[in-house]
Amino acid sequence: MLADLLPWQFEAVAEAVEPVEARKGTLIVERGSDDGYTYFLSEGEVSLEAADGVTTTVDSSPETLRTPVANLRPRILGVTALSRVRGLRIPDIVLMAAGCNGKSLKQGLITDEDEDDAERREAESRLSFQIYRDLKSNKAILPSLPDLALRIRRAIEDDVSDARTVARLVESDPSMAAKILKAANSAMYGGMATAETCSAAVVRLGMQTTKQLVLTFALKEVFQTKNPMVRNRMQVLWKHSSQIAALCFVLAREIKGMQAEEALLIGLLHDVGAIAILNYIEKYPDLGADEDGLEETISRMRGELGAMILRNWMLPAPVVAGARDAEYWLRQHQGPADFTDLLVVAQVHECLRKDQLNGLPPLEKISAFKRVLGEDATPERSLQILHDAKSQADEMRSVLRA
């Protein structure tokens, strides 16, 4: 897999490789996790355990050094050492930069490119390595989680702060206070009386909903840039992300047990990897010189870059999965609909609305529709749901873009 890399690529991958050692009984990879690494087994024996308790044993062999262990994301298998184990792990972003396909590493490197494509791929590869190295050394020109959102999240999660404490934090940002009041008094959350203070708004919304909404509303500043080259593109990205977030919010309210505010957040963050690329374009002007080429670069790179950023923000695995798999149209998994399914359906609807069908498979092959809307799902039915909830979507878009 790595034999055909250019020398500078090989050096970058070698620099990022981390050894893994574990004693018998050690949980190496937790089921449901997404830590951003690909694991390879070189010595010892491990068990792979599924959610239903079924286990498979894997011994070290030449094949296990070529094939990743339990590599579906989020992990559907837990990996436990059955003996003393040695191996290695490589960051997914580094494998992507080396030209390896993260969903199926056996596909190896991209080939049969013309000279211009090869040059762009090399620039993309260098950019990915640069972002990874900058992140490791805390020098990355990447979006950071807004300070207000961090402080409110900590206050709510400490199990000590009450609504008044949280309200005071919200009130420290007049724009945020206005958005929280607007949301609390909207048809989505509104009660019989108007919430006139932040404390009343927090009480009405509840602490967890307030936390999710504050984080979501605060993220608008992540979409800002001082670079005039990409300012318009960043504004387009914000508009698209807020549209997808509103659609995810509406769809989640149709599914029992699905938290609409979490869906809203995942929708807003699904393209955060594109923000990273735009922030670095000034250092890699060749990637931004051609608008169509830039869009191809964003499409290829944003998934793993977005996942890396969200892990760095310590957001949960479903949020990370949304950024990584937002356009994985043929994604399959067992069980009920998850947030990434909502995101895929929302993205498809937006493509249909804009008549941007290039790259979309036939809708009947996108299984997310059936998981979200049931076995009798049709595009017409989902369009009707979104039409019926248009006022909710419009209201949430209005709050996000205020």
The CA-to-CA distance between both ends of the chain, in Å, stands at 49
User: pTM of the prediction?
Assistant: 0.81
Residue 101: give its domain's CATH number: 2.60.120.10
Say yes or no: 12 and 77 in one domain: yes
- Is there a domain that residue 274 lies in? no
151 lies in the same domain as 216: yes
Same domain, residue pair 108 and 16:
yes
Residues 20 and 93 in one domain: yes
Which tens digit of pLDDT belongs to each residue from 199-233?
Answer: 999 899 988 888 888 888 888 888 888 878 788 88
Is position 32 within any domain?
Answer: yes
Burial class of residue 312 in the structure, from the number of CB atoms within 10 Å of its CB (0-12 exposed, 13-18 middle, 19+ buried): middle
User: Does residue 72 lie within any of the structural domains?
Assistant: yes
- Would you say 369 and 363 are in contact if contact means Cβ atoms under 8 Å apart? yes
One domain, residues 105 and 174: no
Share of the chain above pLDDT 90, in %: 29
State which of 167, 196, 222 marks the end of a domain. Answer: 222
Name the residue among 279, 284, 163, 179 with its Cα closest to residue 227: 279
pLDDT at 107: 34
Whether residue 300 is contained in a domain is answered as: no
Do residues 11 and 108 both lie within one domain?
yes
Same domain, 153 and 107: no
Residue 226 has what pLDDT? 80
If asked whether residues 105 and 196 sit together in one domain, one would say no
Alpha-carbon span 99 to 122, nearest angstrom: 9
In tens, the pLDDT along 103-132 reads: 433 333 334 445 667 778 888 888 888 888
Could you tell me if residue 264 is inside a domain?
no
Domain end (from 222, 243, 271): 222
How many domains does one find in the chain? Answer: 2
Domain assignment present for 348 = no
353 in a domain, yes or no?
no
Instruction: Please identify, among 222, 239, 272, the residue that sits at the C-terminal boundary of a domain.
Output: 222
Cβ 258 vs Cβ 248: under 8 Å: no
Q: Are residues 156 and 208 in the same domain?
A: yes
Kindly state whether residues 108 and 21 are assigned to the same domain: yes
pLDDT means per 10 residues in the chain (402 residues)?
68 86 95 89 94 92 82 88 94 82 38 63 83 79 76 80 86 87 85 85 89 86 82 90 92 88 92 90 80 86 90 88 93 90 92 83 89 79 77 81 70
- Confidence at residue 3, expressed as pLDDT on a 0 to 100 scale: 60
C-alpha dihedral (227, 232, 236, 242), degrees to nearest 10: 60
State the Cα–Cα distance between residues 197 and 187, nearest whole angstrom: 17
Q: What is the pLDDT of residue 18?
A: 93
Distance, CA of 140 to CA of 184 (rounded, Å): 36
Closest Cα to residue 153, out of 241, 213, 223? 213
Same domain? For 150 and 107 the reply is no
Q: Which domain covers residue 217, as residue numbers?
A: 145-222
Of 51, 25, 28, 24, the C-alpha closest to 41 is: 28
Q: Per the domain annotation, does 51 fall within a domain? A: yes
pLDDT attached to residue 86: 95
